[in-house]
A and B are shown apart, each in its own frame.
Chain A
């Protein structure tokens, strides 16, 4: 079992729709959870972090965390073509080490 599981996609959504990206993790002791966006050929860029159960909103982005289910998600409202990228779920354990999922490729269709 992988430590951080994501569907590699691609996930295609029409412009203006809500994109829903999901991630599960195996280590129940994980403390912090992150979503990174990576454009092709570029470095990952941190877009959201969450550490408490529930929702955290930042602009068009909402991160959701359910520690009981070991599940993290990212919602992107009003998706734009510029949101097309690979979204990496990342989980931090007790020693600062962050483990990444393989990433979900999102395609927003104009």
Chain B
């Protein structure tokens, strides 16, 4: 079974530019999550998709961040325009059926974003 795939693994962009991160979850996983880890801080929740619908986007920092999951398969997270404080590692995770309390996540390898 293929794991959660994220692309790119690293991205260095200038302040004000746009970056799009992609996540391919495990096939059949309806739940897809985006998290971010800023250096020295906890991994923070950004949002949760169930299939193509946004279940919870309470962690999105501001309207410069836009997440989509068209067709309920892969997801993209766009940052436009990027700011210095957006630097960090962006993790995508997926999990199986909602409602099973013990379902942990399978994480992708992350995208390390550096805004200069």
A96 and B42 within 8 A (CB):
no
Q: Which residues from B are CB-within-8-Å of A34?
A: 104
Measured CB to CB, the closest approach of chain B to A82, in angstroms, equals: 19
B binding-site residues for A, Cβ under 8 Å: 31, 33, 35, 41-45, 48, 55-56, 91, 95, 98, 101-110
B41 and A102 within 8 A (CB):
yes
In chain A, residues 63-106, which have Cβ atoms closer than 8 Å to a Cβ of chain B? 88, 90, 92, 95-103
With contacts A46-B106, A95-B56, A97-B48 taken as known, whether A102 is within 8 angstroms of B42 at the C-beta atoms is: yes
With contacts A44-B91, A95-B55 taken as known, whether A51 is within 8 angstroms of B102 at the C-beta atoms is: yes
**Whole-angstrom CA separation of A4 from B41 in the bound complex:** 12
Q: Is A43 an interface residue (CB 8 A)?
A: yes
B108 and A44 within 8 A (CB):
no
